[in-house]
Chains A and B, each alone.
Chain A
Amino acid sequence: MIEVRLFATLRQGRGKIFSLDAANYKCGKDILKEFQIPEEEVAIFLINGFHSKPEDPVKDGDVIALFPPVGGG
């Protein structure tokens, strides 16, 4: 399984934590597609706590964390 944790506004209409069958996902882009999250709406993409890119591969046991951009002041 792959655990996906969404943060902040990415939770709206989706939820907080999900478990996905690893067999169906090759890379981070597949995960984004599953949740219908455009790439430009993700500022921080973590795989197992490390900064990663959506094109990086994912595997069974990974924990993915997605954060949206924050830029106001």
Chain B
Amino acid sequence: MKARYIRNFEALSEAESDLLKTQKICIVGCGGLGGYILEQFLRLGVESITVIDGDCFEESNLNRQLLSTENVIGNFKALTAKERAQEVNSQIKVHAVNVFLTEENARELLKGHDIVMDAVDNIAARRIMGKTCEELGIPLMYGAIQGWYAQISLILPGSSLLDILYQKEMKLTSKSSLSFTPAVCASFQVAEAVKYLCGRECPLKERVLYVDMLSMEAVMVKF
């Protein structure tokens, strides 16, 4: 095992680390959640990551998006993500895709991955991602945030969880998010994804973990 991963050892077995190397991760969205998800995978030993986002950084991203700095305002998020990846771990092959996920391109962009990490900021994109993951038989590591709150679930093909959580008439009324909220949500998502990819038990399979950082409560809801 290389020195850079030596502290991963014990928490992960050598066999699990070897397995992680071979897994192909797709991160849809390079904003609040996506930045933290990428950062954590870069240090776990995964060697192939696709990052998808057609957006550019703007000033209002600076309060919570790890990849955003004053120097990258106006730059494409996916390209900035790739640059960060190269700085942290040059051995990782990062495929940056500079477009938004749409019904037309989703199948082509998501196919071939072992897991899709949900880091989008709207219901429409989440529905497209969920539908495409279902068609392709790929697990979706769901995460969503608002203000002080986060919810996380591992959605496997055959699940109707997204349809339950986001009914047709539902609209999101707030875009508020604090600096720590995406960090917490992303950490739960990556921790659960690592277990899935290593073949371990996944407590968030068909369950939603609802985290309230205002009252410091966490509730697990079974579906």
Q: How far is the CA of A50 from the CA of B164 in the complex (A)?
A: 13
- Asked if B9 lies at the interface with its beta carbon under 8 angstroms from chain A, I say no
Contact A46 B120 (CB under 8 A): no
Residues of B contacting A7 in the complex (Cβ-Cβ under 8 angstroms): 210, 212, 217, 219
Measured CB to CB, the closest approach of chain B to A19, in angstroms, equals 19
Number of interface residues of A (CB under 8 A): 18
Residues of A within 8 A of B151 (CB): 67, 70
Whether the pair A71, B210 counts as a contact (CB closer than 8 A) is no
Mark interface residues in B195-223 (1 if CB within 8 Å of A CB, else 0).
00000000000001010101101010111
Residue on A nearest B37 in the bound complex, by CB? A73
Tell me, yes or no, whether A8 is within 8 Å of chain B by CB.
yes
Q: Which residue of A lies closest to B164 (CB)?
A: A51
Tell me the interface secondary structure of chain A in the complex: mixed
Taking a contact as CB atoms under 8 Å apart, the answer to whether A40 and B169 are in contact is yes
Cα of A7 to Cα of B221 in the assembled complex, Å: 13
Partner of B123, one of A8, A16, A49, A71: A71
Chain A interface: which of B26-34, B88-96, B100-108? Answer: B26-34
**Contact at A69–B143, with CB atoms within 8 Å?**
no
Q: Say whether B15 faces chain A, with CB atoms less than 8 Å apart.
A: no
In the bound complex, do residue B149 and residue A69 qualify as a contact, i.e. CB atoms below 8 Å apart? no
CB distance from B100 to the nearest CB of A (A): 13
> Which partner residue on chain A sits nearest B33 by CB separation?
A73
**Which chain B residues lie closer than 8 Å to A16 at the CB level?**
215
Structural contact, B169 and A72, CB atoms closer than 8 A: no
| A46 nearest CB neighbor, chain B only | B221
Is B144 on the interface with A (CB-CB < 8 A)? yes
Query: In this complex, what residue of B is CB-closest to A71?
Result: B172
Q: How far is the CB of B220 from chain A (nearest CB, A)?
A: 10
Across the interface, do B223 and A51 meet the contact criterion of CB distance under 8 Å?
A: yes
B3, CB-defined interface residue at 8 Å: no
A44 at the interface (CB under 8 A from B): yes
With CB as the reference atom, state the residue of chain A lying closest to B161.
A51
CB of B42 closer than 8 Å to a CB of A: no
**Chain B residues with a Cβ under 8 A of chain A:** 29, 31-34, 118-123, 126, 143-151, 164-167, 169-172, 174-177, 182, 208, 210, 212, 214-215, 217, 219, 221-223
6 interchain residue pairs of minimum CB distance: A73-B121, A71-B172, A73-B33, A70-B146, A70-B144, A8-B149
